[in-house]
Chains A and B, each alone.
Chain A
């Protein structure tokens, strides 16, 4: 087995992580679905008709990609960080470190499971949204690909956070204090083009703007930036996270004493 991929090991971790999600179905699935649905009801169905967009699009349909991105970012990050932090917290990480699993198997297991959870969640949210708001997806194939890319990238980020965190509080710092504000300010509820200067320029510094706009393009067929900019940004972020995790496994940072 020297150097060979331990696919069974990767699948064991993957399955175990998914089982953990189903054990905690309220926190993992119901809670984010209900929260997003409430946003859609309040901002989309209730006051959406009174909101006017520059291109005349439905406001309810406009905020779906942004709200989906908000859930994707926070859930991917939280799930992956919690997935690796819990074994660290309970001491069960000993098994992972003493097993014939390396960086690839660990990523397939933990990050793969977190990303799949996010995809399942995205599917449920889109299904629920269809019950509340009338919308269509302009480019379904690109939408799926982009959601997958974002889920994988932010699950990788979550995995890094889970390794870095030495307490439960730190697990919440990035999703609640960084990702959520950036997403709210990243065009979830409004197009960047309606912002006055200098806020429009300031908004360009917010990386989440490109994610929200990328997903919005796949839904509406139009956005503030070309889709390739969003794709390029997300791919670059994914590569940085992969490189960081490869370095962590090479050096044993926060993993091995």
Chain B
């Protein structure tokens, strides 16, 4: 699979010395959905801004569609779409005029059929002659997406696309994004909703303090860093983990009344081990009155990664 975007050694230091991007290397594959995760102020929006022309990098190189963006910026921008985090448009203008405006600004000839298609796909057709200020927050967000799609971008940046929208609309937008992927559009999205990345992304990148901490396939990351946690509530407290169970990653909590398993790899190994452990407990005549299991989510992985790196930095 070829790369649609190559970022090498990208740096951005703002006036005042704040380092927003610190030697960022990142490759995005054509046709994938890439989720960029990171806490507030991690550098996600700055990274998007550097590619889209909103931010002037202080170092490094960006290649889009195989071309240096600093030299071929007009050709590159023609093929890139951006949906920023904030709802930003002329609130007094009508929906259809704003979408036409965006299409024209990106150098595309007028195409009413395409505008209609975009608006219908986002359930905005009925609202086409309504002033944007009269729309709900969710509908305004759709207008932002319609504007970004009006020139048929091959690479689409979605900066927190579902921030502040209700669950139903969020799921609706996921379907829209999925439909775009089916058309071959490469999508880079930043999100605070780990569920969103888990649901949609092919690959995930974690950024913190301007540095990319990890980039991997979502499933591979879950396999590598995912964990199963099981809490056995014991009928009789133990003072130590029996030697016959030493093969399992176990420890005791709550004064010996809770046997905790923490292991696995996100591929189901943990679940299998918990089932085996339950049988071994019965065989060893260790009775338990309750069992609570949970699989780690991408959010756990993300939090662990960020905390680990912060701890490393502190040392």
- A residues contacting B by CB (< 8 A) are 1-4, 6, 8-9, 11-13, 15-16, 19-20, 23, 86-87, 90-102, 252, 256-257
Q: In the assembled complex, which residues on chain B have CB atoms less than 8 Å from the CB atom of A1?
A: 74-75, 78, 107
In whole angstroms, how far apart are the Cα atoms of A232 and B181 in the complex?
58
Q: Is B269 an interface residue (CB 8 A)?
A: no
- In the bound complex, do residue B90 and residue A92 qualify as a contact, i.e. CB atoms below 8 Å apart? yes
Q: Is B66 an interface residue (CB 8 A)?
A: no
Instruction: Please list the 9 inter-chain residue pairs (A to B) with the smallest Cβ-Cβ separation, ordered nearest first.
Output: A12-B104, A91-B88, A100-B74, A98-B52, A100-B77, A2-B75, A99-B105, A6-B107, A92-B88
- In the bound complex, do residue B84 and residue A94 qualify as a contact, i.e. CB atoms below 8 Å apart? yes
Q: In the assembled complex, which residues on chain A have CB atoms less than 8 Å from the CB atom of B108?
A: 8
- In the bound complex, do residue A97 and residue B74 qualify as a contact, i.e. CB atoms below 8 Å apart? no
- In the bound complex, do residue A98 and residue B101 qualify as a contact, i.e. CB atoms below 8 Å apart? no
Q: In the assembled complex, which residues on chain A have CB atoms less than 8 Å from the CB atom of B19?
A: none
Do A95 and B75 form a contact, CB below 8 Å, given A9-B105, A90-B88, A256-B56? no
Q: In the assembled complex, which residues on chain B have CB atoms less than 8 Å from the CB atom of A4?
A: 74
Q: Tell me which of A2, A12, A93 contacts B74 (CB under 8 A).
A: A2
- In the bound complex, do residue A257 and residue B75 qualify as a contact, i.e. CB atoms below 8 Å apart? no
User: Could you list 5 A-B pairs, sorted by A, with CB under 8 Å?
Assistant: A2-B72, A9-B105, A87-B90, A90-B88, A257-B55
In whole angstroms, how far apart are the Cα atoms of A11 and B55 in the complex?
25
Closest chain B residue to A93, Cβ basis? B88
Q: In the assembled complex, which residues on chain B have CB atoms less than 8 Å from the CB atom of A97?
A: 52-54
Closest chain B residue to A102, Cβ basis? B74
In whole angstroms, how far apart are the Cα atoms of A2 and B49 in the complex?
20
- In the bound complex, do residue A95 and residue B107 qualify as a contact, i.e. CB atoms below 8 Å apart? no
Interface positions, chain B 29-56, Cβ under 8 Å from A, are: 49, 52-56
- In the bound complex, do residue B105 and residue A91 qualify as a contact, i.e. CB atoms below 8 Å apart? no
Query: In angstroms, how far is the closest chain B Cβ from the Cβ of A13?
Result: 6
- In the bound complex, do residue A98 and residue B80 qualify as a contact, i.e. CB atoms below 8 Å apart? yes
Q: Tell me which of A3, A23, A101, A257 contacts B105 (CB under 8 A).
A: A101
Closest chain A residue to B71, Cβ basis? A2
Do A6 and B84 form a contact, CB below 8 Å, given A11-B104, A92-B90, A257-B56? no
In whole angstroms, how far apart are the Cα atoms of A50 and B144 in the complex?
61
In whole angstroms, how far apart are the Cα atoms of A94 and B75 in the complex?
18
Q: In the assembled complex, which residues on chain A have CB atoms less than 8 Å from the CB atom of B91?
A: 90
Q: In the assembled complex, which residues on chain B have CB atoms less than 8 Å from the CB atom of A20?
A: 90, 93
- In the bound complex, do residue A91 and residue B86 qualify as a contact, i.e. CB atoms below 8 Å apart? yes
- In the bound complex, do residue B101 and residue A12 qualify as a contact, i.e. CB atoms below 8 Å apart? yes
Q: In the assembled complex, which residues on chain B have CB atoms less than 8 Å from the CB atom of A15?
A: 101, 104
Q: In the assembled complex, which residues on chain A have CB atoms less than 8 Å from the CB atom of B77?
A: 98-100
Q: In the assembled complex, which residues on chain A have CB atoms less than 8 Å from the CB atom of B72?
A: 2
Closest chain A residue to B90, Cβ basis? A92
Q: In the assembled complex, which residues on chain B have CB atoms less than 8 Å from the CB atom of A16?
A: 97, 101
Q: Tell me which of A3, A90, A94, A102 contacts B54 (CB under 8 A).
A: A94
Given contacts A3-B74, A95-B82, 6 further A-B contacts (CB under 8 A): A1-B78, A2-B72, A94-B82, A100-B73, A256-B54, A257-B49
Q: Tell me which of B14, B55, B82, B104 contacts A8 (CB under 8 A).
A: B104
